[in-house]
């Protein structure tokens, strides 16, 4: 178990006011000199209230005036930048030892949109670590890739990426994308007017994150987004799927609260720079980072009040970036998120009358209505592009091939894991019958006819975060499915199925990932069957593999001096190559309309409750210096797509 090591810089006394004077980004001067010679200078924006409804922060040592920045790409494949120059190898303590206040009773803090009230919400979070620099370096482009790694295995055993199915190509316009999410990569959690999120609070709760990591710094992509974009373009990446932090746009979250123009400006520049570099921006509106004030005001997504607030936020973002973003997602993995908020530490923040048993379903009801109304607004506003949401999980074959009960269990798994949102949106407008037969209305509120009309058809394509496929069994006790469904105290109720990671012969369904991610196995042989079944159940004209990725075993335990080992991510590389081969076959042999595949993730990042111990990145990030290093998997992806894109 590792802990973050950086110097804590308290922002507890910083006031947040209006961001009228949001400073321009730093001016870059490209020079061959070493980045260690770079100096940074920043100036504070004066705090003054305005009537514009914009938040401005004197917190800013985070808003920067024009600065000179030098980037010197090295031949090692490791990012050398002003980032590492300004950190001065500063190291330190575990932030979780400095917790904020316990979460207040829902509704106890008034809805006042003042800097003082925002301070009250930040006090709930506690002490926040300041970023080591607050300017955006502009890299010299194009960045030259270092020498690729040597072929690991002889060609008779394992072909080079370019030689995998060499006669097959992806369709024209296919998106080779990488994923990130705001909380997981941005850092700078209190900079430029941002409000607190529930994950800012959660990471400071005892035992909530196994290595005590917070999102305060993580990859600091909030300021390093240009370098990260420039580093993936020479790999051939033509799309970046990222999320917008609701709290950066509306620090208080609500529809009647002021907009933070600095947040809008930041993502506008990210979008523009991505397009300039030939990288298509793909935007997710919500990737789990609920504004903390909304949880405090009414219980977040466990309250119906959130629907109007989310739709107002969505409309604000649609209007700001219309014409520049072609592909939109309302929500990332809503099923996972709704399960998450019913667990520790979020279980003490639910709306009145909602408990941990009903919270996932109350959340699902409110979230699907928020999705449908946001999509309705998208279409009424005439926003360019397409919109959907990101499913997760899989359709798993029955564990016992000839077992009718395991086949029924597989149907239950599909209904609860994917059908809960996909059936209403793509198929019927209503919840799957398996859910309504199992869950009373006190758990899962029923949809009325007006809601059904809004929900049905509220997606333009189908997206699935497809990491693995496993087998499904009925409960293996004497009562089976019937006994489970009839007994709310059964440990498998209400889904009443078991996920099996091995077959009836005792063989694993795939290579296991790091022990810190016991749910994940590499199962390329089961991928196409699952994708075929999804297209059969929820047919669309376009599909995206919106996330897929792998945790290299024991990578998270290695230290920076073991960089040569960290970069040698053979299991992850094999995962990507086998999955991409199966995706090619799914397109050509199964005739599936797959239009893009997005690898998780662009860089190592904070993996929620697993912290930094679980790493998905195709680039390593040194926790102390923030230097990036390409891994073998990055080169394999580049070679594969160069050979297979048209």
- Do 435 and 444 meet the contact criterion of CB atoms below 8 Å apart? yes
Positive or negative, the Cα torsion across 553, 614, 219, 578? positive
Alpha carbon distance 621, 634 (integer Å): 14
Residue 125 exposure: Cα atoms within 13 Å on the Cβ side: 29
**Percentage helix, strand, coil, to 5, in the chain?**
35, 10, 50
Contact 7, 131 (CB under 8 A): no
CA distance 207 to 235: 38
Mind telling me the catalytic residues?
333, 547
Q: How far apart are CA 66 and CA 79, in angstroms?
A: 22
Residues 6+ apart with CB under 8 A from 353: none
Beta strands 386-392 and 628-630 are: unpaired
> Could you tell me the two tokens for 372?
């449908």
What does the DSSP 8-state code read for residue 602? Answer: S
Q: Which residue has the tokens 């990426």?
A: 161
The Cα–Cα gap between 554 and 560 comes to: 13
**CA atoms of 596 and 436, how far apart (whole Å):** 34
Cis? peptide before 274, omega within 30° of 0: no
CA angle 236, 242, 245 (to 5 degrees): 160
Of 630, 542, 632, 557, nearest to 587 by C-alpha is: 542
Return the HEC string of 223-279: HHHHHHHHHHHHHCCCEEEEECCHHHHCCCCCCCCCECHHHHHHHHHHHHHHHHCCC
Query: Are 124 and 292 a contacting pair, CB within 8 Å?
Result: yes
Question: Running DSSP on this structure, what letter comes out for residue 604?
Answer: -
Q: Distance from first CA to last CA of the chain, Å, rounded?
A: 45
Return all residues near 589 (Cβ < 8 A) that are at least 6 apart: none
Q: What does each C-alpha distance from 44 to 47, 57, 118, 345 come to in angstroms?
A: 9, 9, 19, 35
Using CB atoms within 10 A of its CB, is residue 263 exposed (0-12), middle (13-18) or buried (19+)? buried
- CA dist 583 and 594 (Å) reads 8
- What are the angstrom distances between the C-alpha of 644 and each of 72, 163, 630? 32, 10, 21
Q: Between vectors from CA 261 to CA 55 and to CA 625, what angle results, nearest 5°?
A: 90
User: What is d(CA 226, CA 30) in angstroms, rounded to the nearest whole number?
Assistant: 14
All residues at 6 or more sequence positions from 355 whose CB lies less than 8 Å from its CB, including other chains: none
CA separation, residue 621 to residues 78, 136, 168, 436, 468 (Å): 9, 17, 34, 46, 25
Q: What is the CA radius of gyration of the chain?
A: 24
């Amino acid at each position: 178990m590792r802990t973050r090591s950086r110097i804590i810089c308290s922002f507890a006394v910083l006031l947040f006011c209006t961001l009228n004077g949001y400073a321009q980004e730093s001016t870059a001067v490209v020079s061959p000199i070493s980045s260690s010679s770079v100096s940074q200078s920043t100036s504070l924006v004066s705090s003054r209230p305005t009537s514009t409804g914009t938040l401005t922060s004197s917190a800013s040592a985070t808003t920067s005036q024009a600065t000179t920045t030098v980037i010197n790409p090295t031949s090692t494949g490791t990012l050398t930048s002003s980032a590492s120059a300004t950190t001065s190898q500063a190291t330190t303590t575990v932030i979780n030892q400095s917790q904020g206040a316990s979460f207040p009773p829902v509704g106890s803090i008034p809805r006042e949109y003042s800097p003082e009230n925002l301070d009250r919400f930040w006090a709930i979070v506690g002490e926040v670590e300041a970023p080591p620099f607050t300017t955006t370096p502009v890299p010299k482009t194009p960045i030259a890739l270092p020498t690729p790694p040597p072929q690991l295995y002889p060609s008779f055993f394992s072909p080079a990426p370019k030689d995998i199915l060499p006669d097959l190509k992806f369709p024209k316009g296919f998106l080779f994308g990488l994923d990130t999410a705001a909380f997981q990569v941005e850092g700078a959690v209190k900079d430029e007017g941002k409000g607190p999120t529930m994950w800012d609070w959660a990471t400071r709760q005892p035992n909530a994150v196994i290595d005590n990591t917070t999102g305060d710094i993580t990859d600091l992509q909030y300021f390093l987004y240009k370098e990260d974009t420039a580093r993936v373009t020479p790999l051939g990446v033509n799309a970046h799927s990222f999320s917008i932090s609701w709290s950066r746009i509306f620090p208080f979250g609500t529809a009647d609260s002021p907009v933070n123009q600095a947040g809008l400006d930041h993502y506008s520049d990210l979008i523009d720079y991505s397009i300039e570099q030939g990288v298509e921006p793909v935007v997710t509106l919500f990737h789990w980072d609920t504004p903390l004030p909304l949880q405090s005001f009414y219980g977040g997504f466990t309250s119906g009040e959130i629907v109007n607030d989310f739709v107002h936020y969505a409309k604000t973002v649609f209007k700001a970036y219309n014409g520049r973003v072609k592909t939109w997602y309302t929500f990332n993995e809503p099923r996972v998120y709704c399960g998450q908020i019913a667990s520790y530490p979020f279980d003490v923040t639910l709306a009145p009358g909602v408990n941990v048993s009903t919270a996932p379903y109350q959340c699902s009801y409110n979230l699907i209505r928020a999705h449908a109304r946001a999509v309705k607004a998208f279409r009424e506003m005439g926003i360019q592009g397409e919109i959907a949401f990101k499913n997760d999980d899989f359709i798993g074959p029955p564990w016992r091939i000839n077992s009718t009960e395991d086949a029924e269990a597989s149907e239950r798994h599909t209904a609860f894991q994917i059908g809960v949102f996909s059936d209403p949106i793509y198929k019927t407008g209503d919840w799957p019958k398996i859910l309504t037969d199992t869950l009373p209305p006190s758990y899962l509120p029923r949809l009325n006819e007006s809601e059904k009309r809004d929900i049905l058809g509220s997606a333009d394509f189908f997206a699935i975060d497809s990491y693995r496929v496993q087998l499904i069994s009925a409960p293996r006790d004497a009562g089976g499915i019937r006994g489970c469904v009839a007994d709310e105290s059964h440990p498998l109720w209400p889904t009443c199925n078991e996920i099996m990671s091995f077959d009836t012969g005792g063989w694993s369904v795939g290579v296991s990932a790091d022990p810190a991610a016991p749910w994940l196995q590499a199962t390329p042989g089961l991928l196409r069957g699952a994708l075929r079944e999804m297209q059969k159940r929820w047919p669309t004209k376009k599909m995206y593999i919106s996330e897929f990725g792998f945790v290299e075993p024991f990578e998270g335990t290695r230290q920076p001096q073991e960089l040569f080992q960290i970069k040698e991510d053979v299991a992850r590389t094999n995962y990507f190559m086998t999955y991409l081969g199966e995706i090619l076959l799914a397109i050509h042999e199964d005739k599936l309309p797959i239009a893009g595949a997005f690898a998780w993730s662009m860089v190592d990042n904070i993996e929620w409750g697993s912290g930094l111990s679980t790493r998905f990145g195709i680039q390593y990030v040194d926790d102390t210096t923030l230097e990036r290093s390409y891994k073998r998997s990055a080169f394999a992806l580049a070679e594969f797509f160069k050979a297979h894109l048209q």
